[in-house]
Amino acid sequence: MTVLLKLTNVAVYVGDTCLLEPISLALNQGQPLTILGQTGSGKSLLAQAIMGLLPTDLSVSGDIEAFGKVMTIEERQALWGREMVMLPQEPWHSLDPLMKGIDQVKEVYQFVREKDPQEALAMAEEDLRHVGLAFNGHKRADELSGGMAQRLAIAAATAGGAHVILADEPTKGLDISRRDGIVQLLQARSNLGSLLTITHDVSVARQLGGLLLVMKEGRLVEQGEAAQVLDYPKDDYTRELIAAEPRAWQDMAPTMRKNDADDILIADNVRLERGGRTLFDGLSFSIKQGEVVGIVGDSGCGKSSLGDALLNLLPVSSGKLTRFNKTAQPHQWLKLYQDPPSAFSSSVTLGQLLDDVVDLHGIDKARISPLMDRLNLPEGILDRNCLAVSGGELQRFAILRALLLDPVFLFADEPTSRLDPITAKEVTGLLVELASEAGCAVLLVSHDMDLVRKTCHQVVSI
Amino acid sequence: MKAMLLKRALQLVTVVWGVGTLTFILMRSLPGDMAYRIAASRYGQDNVDSNAAALVREELKLDQGALTAYWHWLTDLLQFKLGDSLVSGLPVMDTVQHMLGHSLMLAFAGLMVSVLIAVPLGLLSAWRGNPFDSILMSLSSVIRAMPVFVLGVLFILLFALHWNWFPVAGFGSPAHLVLPAVTLALSLAAVSNRVVRDSAKRTFAAAFYQFSKVKGLSAWQTFRQHGVRNIAVPVVAFFGIQLVSMIEGIVMIESLFSWPGIGHGLAHAIFARDIPVIQGAALVMGVLFVLLNTLVDVICLWIDPRGAKTV
């Protein structure tokens, strides 16, 4: 077996602080290697260190050997595209926003493989056909969906002939159906060389197979054959990661307090349009008090729009939405946003934001402290602003702010898709548990079928 | 694109009417007897008496009511009759054309030189970073903080009086264009090199810029393929704004270098109450304003077609 990449005691520092503790690994030809761990565990630094892409204020120690030779940063940079390539985490940001998709593949053939323009274009067309984008080459990145952008990025990255592929969270934010496709494409593209993947998604690691390294806070906790490690984890952290995968969750749907609870909302034969396009039609369901309802469907199918329509933020095109519980104020029909930092102002402290809500609605301040305990929110975060707390803390704070208003209906729009699996599990559990205790109905939108199945009383598919 | 052009055409009509009416109202509300001012400009300050003024008033029908005057003016405007200068008697169209031609020449020359200065310096500043960046930043601030006539006077003292390289002021040969254009260009480039630098820095740091190199393109290929166009988006828009605002701001340079342009001419027309010339100049400047803005918009849309559907 040829060793393509070999790392010996590679560590990353900023000044004297160690961000990534010394790690040694070898990437063999034909054997994919996956690094599994939470965001912020230093995984991305490792890939950047291998490529020679670390920001200049970070320093690397240890030896990085590529193709049997210890190489300096400059020597590794000379391999870019031709021998070794790194797939970007956010494909939308990694594609030139002003250039047609196909040209971003064509230029690689033209400049890296030195083909003449016509030949390069033909090869790029062929590549796009391979990744299922035959009719989308003329589009720019902003006209592509996340999955399409990632497929385009893969085609562009591998056009230069590189067989060693480093993929940093290649499936972040993608629907499950899209995720499997990306993983297969990566496998196909690297079958002549090898694939090093960094992910927090246990199912991606399982699907890729090969060798698996589990990392926690810049430290290697466990390694071995992927199937072996995932089926028989030795380390607690590995177990925790596996347990955080929605399909491994216990059934979390809270028991309904009474089965004969009143309906708070009935949707009858609803059709929704956005920008002249029908999203869905003939949708009927009802939601009871304190019920947790899951909405699943591919991205762009109108899940979020449905939630907004139920909150009366969007008009329905036809059909009827009936809201009961007339005594509820508009502010008791609430929404929990997908990306917590963009739902808060960063110019004042969280405490100030909370006080504003308390003052506006005359809420009893004594309720705050017990609820914060339940949500595992330390007092200290009230002195900080939304950028100085973690995503999980911020989403739990958002739940706190929503629950103080005694909502009757809470629309949670992918509330955990930007969080780590372990945090996501915790936040989802708290959300359904507390809302249900308060008799508040929850509409949980997610692209993860497993997550919805484990937490909801009723699932609506679009 | 079509919708945008249509909107601009409508804007043009509104601007013509608005600017015209506003000049009309403002000119009528200026203090002093208009007939005296016009007579003074025609015959000289010393030869004016009430007879001369009465003659002028009679000839130009200055004593008619405001509404009648407005009506006459509006019907003339609709037929594109801008009239003759009250002072020189020459057609307004010719006068304005003459002045505007000179102004545009100076404005374009200034802008071109400023582009030649700002783009390389801005790119170099983004690429090399400190200390070059800081030095350029200080220099830009100093030049920007100086009123443009101070810069002009400095240049006159240095290049025209001390070294005798270029004429002090006036018009006639390409050499006359150098000092006013360079003065203008330096004051423009003092700001625009920062815009180039910021845009370039943002682009160089962008994920797609890095990804292009990771794909295997060289630094130069990456710059050509992905740098130029992305950097150009805010830069071209900014140059456009500079060009448009220059049309009104050029008066200082024109006065300083006795350049026979529209700013200079407009100022003199106002002193002399030469209403047709003022109206004509204001109108043409308004039209030019809309046309240049449209041109800039079209270029920007061509560089960055995102959001074209919403324009």
Q: Which residues of B touch A111 (CB under 8 A)?
A: 216-218, 221, 225
Cis peptide bond prior to B131, omega within 30° of 0:
yes
Q: Do A96 and B226 touch (CB under 8 A)?
A: yes
Q: Tens digit of pLDDT for each residue in A36-65?
A: 887 665 677 888 888 888 888 888 888 888
Q: Tens digit of pLDDT for each residue in A289-343?
A: 888 898 887 766 778 888 888 888 888 888 888 888 777 788 888 888 877 777 8
- pTM, two decimals, is 0.71
Q: Are residues B40 and B165 in the same domain?
A: no
Q: Which residues of B touch A112 (CB under 8 A)?
A: 215-217
**Per-residue three-class SS string for B11-61:** HHHHHHHHHHHHHHHHHHCCCCCHHHHHHHHHHCHHHCCHHHHHHHHHHHC
Q: Which residues contact A155 (CB under 8 A, 6 or more apart)?
A: A105, A124, A127, A128, A130, A131, A133
CATH number, domain containing residue B276: 1.10.3720.10
Q: Which of A88, A140, A162 minimises the CB distance to B211?
A: A88
- Cα separation values, B157 from A76, A305, B153, B164, B186, Å: 57, 68, 6, 9, 16
Q: Are residues B138 and B163 in the same domain?
A: yes
**Does B129 contact A at CB distance below 8 Å?**
no
pLDDT of res. B310: 41
pLDDT of res. A302: 78
Q: Which of B215, B218, B306 minimises the CB distance to A142?
A: B306
Domain boundaries, chain A: 3-247, 263-461
Q: Beta partners for A295?
A: A445, A460
Q: Are residues B15 and B157 in the same domain?
A: no
In the predicted model, what is the mean pLDDT of residues A120-149? Answer: 80
Q: Identify the segments of chain B with pLDDT beneath 70.
A: 30-34, 45, 47, 60-64, 86, 170, 248-249, 307-311
Instruction: Tell me which of B37, B70, B90 is where a domain ends.
Output: B90
Distance from CA of B149 to the nearest CA of A (A): 41
- Does the pLDDT value for residue A240 go beyond 80? yes
Q: Are residues B208 and B236 in the same domain?
A: yes
The angle at the Cα of B25, spanning B19 to B31, to the nearest 5 degrees, equals: 130
* Fold agreement (A3-247, A263-461): yes
Q: Beta partners for A336?
A: A412
Q: Tens digit of pLDDT for each residue in A170-181?
A: 877 677 777 787
Distance from CA of B303 to the nearest CA of A (A): 8
Q: Which residues of B touch A105 (CB under 8 A)?
A: none
Q: Which residues of A touch B225 (CB under 8 A)?
A: 96, 99, 107, 111
Instruction: Tell me which of B74, B90, B106 is where a domain ends.
Output: B90
Q: Do B215 and A112 touch (CB under 8 A)?
A: yes
CA–CA separation, B89 vs B125, rounded Å? 54
* CATH class of the domain whose range is A3-247: alpha beta
- The residue of chain B nearest to residue A104, with distances taken between CA atoms, is B212
Structural domain range at position B79: 2-90
Q: Are residues B53 and B194 in the same domain?
A: no
Superfamily name with CATH number, domain A263-461: P-loop containing nucleotide triphosphate hydrolases (3.40.50.300)
- The tokens describing B291, both together, are 């046309």
The count of domains in chain B is 2
The 3-state DSSP class for residue A401 equals helix
CA–CA separation, B221 vs A106, rounded Å? 13
Q: Are the beta carbons of A451 and A427 closer than 8 angstroms?
A: no
Q: Are residues B262 and B161 in the same domain?
A: yes
